[in-house]
Amino acid sequence: MNSFHSSDSSEAYIALGANLGDREQTLYDAIQLLNNHPQIEVQRCSGMYDTAPVGYTDQPAFYNMVIRVSTGLQPLELLQTMLDIEHQLGRVRDIRWGPRTVDLDLLWMDDIQMDTERLQLPHPRMHERAFVLVPLHEIVEQQAPELYQLVTDSLQHVQDQDIQYVHACKLPFPSKLK
């Protein structure tokens, strides 16, 4: 059982994507692995969306979603945990923006601004991508006013991107994942 107490924490939003294998199951496996971490508690998840690839387009369509977590980890620690989970779920980095079993991107964490070689916060391209903005809009709340405003303002600029709703999140919220 996860004994982490969210009062000692930061709020973070993570984008998830997959276009190889059982895309849906892989995304839910990633969410479960995040939630199993002693200092991460998944609080909300968006619906799942079928989306066209961006950048390198000669690949299968993606399933994408976004989750909100509460974490006691610092940004680089959270990033490393996410990279470890990608590796555990079979992620291989051959082609930039290429096919992948799973992709986890840290979008935003509290109001932290960070620009290092390993991590940029907020995510530098999230405002350009419907596959991030649409699911993020589902779960971002006005308690995060800067992020809420960014998402709301940016949605109008991605209307032409191909994104199709698949279904609501199948995980139980707000109770702890089992």
23 is annotated as an active-site residue: no
Segment (H or E) for 50: strand 48-51
Question: Of 29, 50, 105, 110, which one is the catalytic site residue?
Answer: 105
| Separation of alpha carbons 169 and 171, rounded Å | 6
Beta bridge partners of 10: 71
CA nearest neighbour of 106 among 10, 3, 1, 6:
10
Catalytic residue (choose from 91, 118, 125, 129) = 91
Angle between helices 75-88 and 23-36 (to 10 degrees): 140
C-alpha distances (whole Å) from 106 to each of 15, 31, 102, 126, 162 are 7, 13, 13, 10, 22
Catalytic residue among 23, 68, 100, 129: 100
Concerning whether 103 is annotated as a catalytic residue, the answer is yes
Q: Considering 103, 110, 118, 153, which one is annotated as catalytic?
A: 103
Q: Would you please indicate which residues are annotated as catalytic (active-site) residues?
A: 91, 100, 103, 105
